Amino acid sequence: MFFSLATSLMPLMRWIDPEQAHRLSIAALASGLLNPTSSPDDQRLETSFLGLRLPNPIGLAAGFDKNAVAIEGLSRLGFGFLETGSVTPRPQDGNPRPRLFRLTADRAVINRMGFNNAGLDAYVQNLAKRRSTAGLVGANVGINKDGADPLRDYPLLVRAVAPHADYVVINVSSPNTPGLRDLQAEDRLRAILSSIAAAVPTRPPLLVKLAPDLAKEAVARIVETCVDEGVDGLIISNTTITRPASLTSAHASETGGLSGAPLFEPSTDLLRQVARLGRGRLALIGVGGIFSGEDILAKLRAGASAVQLYSSFAYGGPALIPRLKAELLQSLDRHGFANVTAAIGADLR
Ligand SMILES: Cc1cc2nc3c(=O)[nH]c(=O)nc-3n(C[C@H](O)[C@H](O)[C@H](O)COP(=O)(O)O)c2cc1C
């Protein structure tokens, strides 16, 4: 009923401060004001990853609902699954504002939010409240800017969220927490993963989220480390610190992570590289620059079992999700795939 309200409201939000627009969207979703009930998905869209069944492969990426306050409202928009967080052990304010920038002409976003979130206790309380009707929900965890100890904090985070999440993501790739991406180095990653295995023997599937800016040689080492340490999957990718020469927006030189259309190619290239190296040993979620059904199909063909998006949702609002599903069905037809499952990894064969 409020769907048309939502779709007409969201574009207007483009003209107000982007962080304010985001805050209003979360408040509306949490209040149940944006309340469309999406119709059941076409069976051809069904996929599964790590033994979890998804009605469609389109997930909401981490960072939109950092505190897990809008799970019910978001799930009614028709996402196949949701990822909440990143949550850190203690609450933190994040970086000074402004810290979120629209690059409209580039269909991109730059953010340097810096893990602003209400902390683990509040997050776990919210996650525990979710109803079973909300579908699959992942928990993405990160560490505080100050006083962090990765070998203490990641196990503590995983243990706390594990009973309430369908999967858990170790975020070692956000560019806005100094030193965080260094945790992707083989020895440091191995130490974190084995500390989690020792502290949390029973847990839901564990994934690691990678940066798109890794050197080629580093990627192979990360893949083998993750396989060795019992990681179930990878999310590829987080935002990039690079700035393609094609950017035209005034905010292009702001510090932070770039997401949206300019991230599509580098993140899909990394996804394909990891899929080849992983040889089916790791489940993959493809994220970065998805704006169309063709974009989703490209990620599936490159080896992703499911995808996620953030920037296109920030620009397009709730109407985006039904549009992407319709486009994906058309793209499957056009390229001769019977369904989503048939397309997964097609470019690798
Ligand atoms: C404002 C903003 C905040 C984000 N916060 C997080 C976060 O807390 N944790 C995380 O793993 N990724 C975070 N991301 C990255 C997204 O989850 C996603 O990996 C990235 O935006 C690429 O997808 P897109 O091109 O569809 O936006 C954030 C992205 C944006 C734009």
Going from the Cα of 42 to the center of ligand 1, the distance in angstroms, rounded, reads 28
Q: Which of 127, 62, 117 is nearest to 87 (CA)?
A: 117
Residues with CB under 6 A from ligand 1: 61-63, 66, 86, 100, 109, 111, 113, 115, 140, 171, 174, 209, 238-239, 259-260, 263, 287-290, 309-312
**Residue 265 within a domain:** yes
List, in order, residues 6 or more apart from 212 with CB less than 8 Å away: 236, 237, 238, 239, 240, 242, 263, 266, 267, 270, 288
Q: pLDDT-based confidence at 156, cuts 50/70/90?
A: very high
Q: pLDDT-based confidence at 25, cuts 50/70/90?
A: confident
Q: Which residue has the higher pLDDT, 130 or 109?
A: 109
Relative to beta strand 206-210, strand 136-141 is unpaired
**Residue 17 within a domain:** no
* Residue 162 pLDDT exceeds 60: yes
**Residue 7 within a domain:** no
CATH number at residue 325: 3.20.20.70
CA distance 172 to 108: 22
* Atom 10 of ligand 1, residue of closest alpha carbon: 62
In this structure, of 8-22, 78-92, 312-326, the range with the lowest mean pLDDT score is 8-22
**Residue 121 within a domain:** yes
Domain count, the chain: 1
* Atom 7 of ligand 1, residue of closest alpha carbon: 63
The pLDDT, as a whole number, for residue 8 is 52
User: Does residue 148 contact residue 182 with C-beta atoms inside 8 Å?
Assistant: no
Q: Once rounded to an integer, what is the mean pLDDT over residues 126-133?
A: 84
* Residue 175 pLDDT exceeds 90: yes
**Residue 109 within a domain:** yes
The pLDDT, as a whole number, for residue 131 is 73
Could you say which of 25, 86, 174, 195 is catalytic? 174
Going from the Cα of 35 to the center of ligand 1, the distance in angstroms, rounded, reads 24
Going from the Cα of 239 to the center of ligand 1, the distance in angstroms, rounded, reads 6
**Is the overall model pTM greater than 0.85, yes or no?**
yes
Task: State which residues form the domain around 211.
Answer: 39-348
Q: Is there a catalytic annotation at residue 237?
A: no
Q: Once rounded to an integer, what is the mean pLDDT over residues 43-55?
A: 95
Q: Once rounded to an integer, what is the mean pLDDT over residues 302-326?
A: 96
